[in-house]
Amino acid sequence: MNRNGLPLAFEDPHGDSVVIPQDSSESWWQPQPANGHAEVILSPRNIRSVHKFSVGTQTLPPGGTVRLHSHDRSEEVLYVLEGEGAAEVDGKKARMAPNTTLYLGHNQTHTFTNDGTVDLKWVWFFMPGGLEDFFEGIGRKRATGEPAPVPFARPADVKEIEAKTVFAKS
């Protein structure tokens, strides 16, 4: 919101600027089958922007899988930082390796698996935001540097969490 209580607009004198120091963002351990963790660096929770979005990282340990899903009202970009894995986007297979970029338009089904021997880590950019609400809803709060928990199940109400956040109806 701008100083008049209205959504931020390009007509406002300027937008926000923030610097997020390393290891100071919200982070959530993720349940099975993904395991690993997601970090939320920027979102409507900590910035005002004309176009709503969120950005963060996700780390998938060896053997971890982000289940097949889609987003009916969102667009997503992934940029792989480290590790290797397999992606399937709308039925097409692709490799994930450092410097690989994936654009996932609305209603494009996608899944990712770390089939390597080290963590697979990517930056995610999500418009119009909301992925942070899902990560929080299904995850457990994570502190930087703490050891990974014993793998844990998805919450019993995961379908309700998905419906309230950014996932297409399945």
9 within a domain of the structure (yes/no): no
Listed in sequence order, the DSSP H helices in the chain are 131-138, 158-164
Per-residue model confidence as pLDDT tens digits over 123-153: 999 999 999 999 999 999 999 999 999 999 9
φ and ψ at residue 158, rounded to 5 degrees: -55, -35
Per-residue model confidence as pLDDT tens digits over 37-57: 999 999 999 998 999 999 999
93 within a domain of the structure (yes/no): yes
Per-residue model confidence as pLDDT tens digits over 84-133: 999 999 999 999 999 999 999 999 999 999 999 999 999 999 999 999 99
2 within a domain of the structure (yes/no): no
| pTM attached to this predicted model | 0.92
17 within a domain of the structure (yes/no): no
pLDDT band at 15, cuts 50/70/90?
Answer: confident
CATH number at residue 64: 2.60.120.10
Domain count, the chain: 1
81 within a domain of the structure (yes/no): yes
47 within a domain of the structure (yes/no): yes
Q: Residue 138: which domain range?
A: 31-164
